[in-house]
Amino acid sequence: MADGARPALGLSIGATNLAAVTPDHALTRKPVVTLYRQRPPEVGIPSENPRLDEPGLVITDFVDRVGDRVGIVAADGSVHRSEALVADGLRALAYATTGGRALPDNVAVTYPAHWAPTAVDALGGAVSRVSEWSHQATPVTLIPDAAAALFAVRANPGIPARGTVAVCDFGGSGTSITLVDAGADYQPLGPTVRHHDFSGDLIDQSLLSYVMSEMPATGSFDPSATAAIGSLTRLRAACRGAKERLSATTATTLAEEVPGLRGEIRLTRNELEETIRGSLAGVLGVLEESLRRNATGLVAIVTFGGGATIPAVTTSLSGRFGVPVITTPRPQLTAAIGGALRAARGPADVSATTLTPAAPPAPLVPAPEPTPVEEFQDVPAAAPVSAMQPALAWSEAQDESRVMPAVSPGSGSGSGYTAARPQMKFEHEERPEPERKASPLPWYRLPAVIIISTIVAVLLVGTAVAIGLTSHGSKGTKSPGVNTTPRSSAPATTESPSPEPPPASTPEPAPTSQAPAPPPQTQAPAPVQTTQAPPPTTEAPPPVTTQPPVTTQPPVTTQPPVTTAPPVPQIPQLPGPANPNPPAPPAIPQLPQIPGLPQIPGIGHVPKVG
């Protein structure tokens, strides 16, 4: 132990094992307590505890009942509280670890992370009533085993300082999964998820069933017989030992004597992996569902517990999620090692669970010191704690020197680097916005476009109005020409303007060719306006009332050249056909020009018509 080191003791509670770790020793025992009347209780089974040399009151299966209001009834009818039995077992284990010497002042106890708060409170009360720990200046510290495992892997081999880390406890009665955010001082992202379908006990049972199925059917061994109960118990223990050996070797044998069976039973690692394939797939599914529910990116998986020693567990997790699977050389002691590390720091050092990142961002860690990570059940000590740590047999280096760099590239400060990239993207998106604001420059061209479009619209409207007026005027001129034939003769005498425009004689062929419609379209504005000037005098007052708006329009009145357009002579042409109308009676005499018709037979009936 290094000079100035603080002696510490770490204790862990498990359904199948109780573990204790000191700087120079580690020990595991089965959670079996033997009570004596004349001496303190002992923990473990006879094969692992030589002090069980006399009969006593043996009690088992009390770990999972901590916090239960109903006590455990022993063989003699006495009732015992489960948390009190756990406290007695921890005390006996602590003395066994120290060899009967005085216990260290700094003690930490780790409990299953899936325990309810009532169970944790009950355990804390029972531990505080132990005489060795009730009068200490430094009370016993309670830590979840998931947080203690983070302490241990931080010391060796190291964990990422940013991202989501999944802490998986492969215990004897089930598997617990806890997700923590490394960038937020390893705070849990949610409650611990408990999966009961993959456990050490179930693996032992599956392996026992497989071994029994491989036994020869000709043997005299009958598993259903009462006498076979003891043999099955020994065979199951042999299967548990074979499971542990297959974690280090590829094949082993069961040398346990079974009635009616001679020889050895050979087991391989492949056979073990085949028996646990289905239940292990269930664990992977639960972890995947937890990650999907929290919508976080996984950077590492920390495994501890007895089941973490199985190679198939590590390979399946790594192959399924593609991230490093981190564990300690002895996963069954990981929680106790982490508890010893926490106890060595002392209760005043709340940064124990603030697993500091690598050296570059280390100065940023002291900022969140007021926020402790784990839920400790101790009272802060008033005296300062030395910064030096004990030189533990399983961890000689300082914790800070074992931290791995972040898995993700381009790590920056302690703040979440995932949030920095979106900000940069937003900046790139914001930069084009000023350019879009400059896009209103084309609005300066809009006045010209509006003016041009307005002029075109006015011209189109004027043209449409002119066409409408010409069509209306033409219809109006025809009606007065027919109704007032004498008036048309009066203007005929005043057709002095006709000689004024000599070119007027050129458009006359147009009416002769019966194309008066095209000329009105080309010279529509002028004829309508000039021709309508005389008609108001001849026509009814309504046209005269319509003329003032026409005369008020300067463009209409200021087109003198258009007034001399050929349509003026076209108006006399309208009476031209009207002039034949009076001579219509003379036109009847011209009918005699068809005297040749009588030459055709049957035309003689024409005189009858006349």
pLDDT, residue 258, reads 59
**CATH code of residue 386:** 3.30.420.40
**Domain match, 130 and 27 both:** yes
pLDDT digits (tens, 9 = 90+) for 330-377: 999 999 999 999 998 865 554 434 433 333 333 333 333 333 333 333
- Domain boundaries, position 216: 200-274
Looking at residue 507, its pLDDT comes to 39
Domain count, the chain: 3
User: What is the spatial order of strands in the sheet that 8-13 belongs to?
Assistant: 25-29, 18-22, 8-13, 106-111, 141-144
Lowest-pLDDT range, 398-407, 430-439, 500-509?
A: 398-407
Highest mean pLDDT among 231-245, 258-272, 312-326, 547-561: 312-326
Cβ-proximal residues to 144 (8 Å cutoff; 6+ apart), any chain:
110, 111, 112, 113, 178, 192, 374, 375
Residues with Cβ within 8 Å of residue 294, at least 6 apart in sequence = 164, 179, 189, 190
pLDDT tens digits for range 20-67: 999 889 999 999 999 999 999 999 999 999 999 999 999 999 999 999
Q: How confident is the model at residue 401 (pLDDT cuts 50, 70, 90)?
A: very low
Which has more confidence, 1 or 301? 301
Give the DSSP H or E segment for 11.
strand 8-13
One domain, residues 153 and 209: no
C-alpha 529/C-alpha 547 separation (Å) is 9
Mean pLDDT, to the nearest integer, of 227-233? Answer: 69
pLDDT reported for residue 585 = 54
Separation of alpha carbons 159 and 406, rounded Å:
8
Tell me, what's the pLDDT at 287? 95
Same-domain pairing of 31 and 145: yes
Q: Give the 3-state DSSP-derived string for 390-444, with helices as H, strands as E and coil as C.
A: CCECCECCCHHHHCCCCCCCCCCCCCCHHHHHHHHHHHHHHCHHHHHHHCCHHHH
Label residue 237 by pLDDT band (50, 70, 90).
confident
Does 181 map to a domain?
A: no
In this prediction, residue 44 carries a pLDDT of 95
Q: Residue length, the chain?
A: 610
Q: Binning pLDDT at 50, 70 and 90, where does residue 15 land?
A: very high
The pLDDT confidence band at residue 261, using thresholds 50, 70 and 90, is: low
Residue 195 lies inside a defined structural domain of this protein? no
In a domain, 468, yes or no: yes
Mean pLDDT of the chain: 70
Give me the CATH number covering residue 205: 3.90.640.10
223, 371: one domain: no
Residue 42 lies in a domain: yes
Instruction: Report residue 421's pLDDT band, with 50, 70 and 90 as the boundaries.
Output: very low
Shared domain check, 152 and 22: yes
Domain-ending residue, one of 403, 433, 464 = 403
- 1 with 142, same domain: the answer is yes
What percent of the chain is predicted at pLDDT more than 90?
42
Please indicate, yes or no, if residue 506 is contained in any of the structural domains. no
Residues 265, 368, single domain; the answer is: no
Whether residue 147 is contained in a domain is answered as yes
Q: 253 lies in a domain?
A: yes
Assess whether pLDDT exceeds 80 at residue 318: yes
Least-confidence region, from 25-39, 175-189, 227-241? 227-241
Residues 476 and 371 in one domain: no
141 plus 36 within the same structural domain = yes
What are the pLDDT digits (tens) for 112-167?
999 999 999 999 999 999 999 987 778 899 999 999 999 899 888 889 989 999 99
Q: Among 373, 403, 433, identify where a domain stops.
A: 403
- Give the predicted TM-score (pTM) of the model: 0.58
Burial of 54 (0-12, 13-18, 19+ CB in 10 A): exposed
Reduced to 3 states (helix: H, G, I; strand: E, B; else coil), residue 503 is helix
Under the banding of pLDDT at 50, 70 and 90, the label for residue 215 is confident
Q: pLDDT tens for residues 262-317?
A: 667 889 999 999 999 999 999 999 999 999 998 788 999 999 999 999 999 999 99
Is residue 236 very low, low, confident or very high in pLDDT (cuts 50, 70, 90)? confident
Alpha-carbon distance 413 to 362, whole Å? 9
CA 603 to chain centre: 103
Cis check for the bond before 157: say yes or no (omega within 30 of 0): yes
Same domain, 52 and 146: yes
Has residue 521 been placed in a domain?
Answer: no
Which single residue is written with the structure tokens 């004990």?
390
User: Is the domain of 123 the same as that of 241?
Assistant: no
Region of poorest pLDDT, from 80-89, 205-214, 539-548: 539-548
- 152, 12: one domain: yes
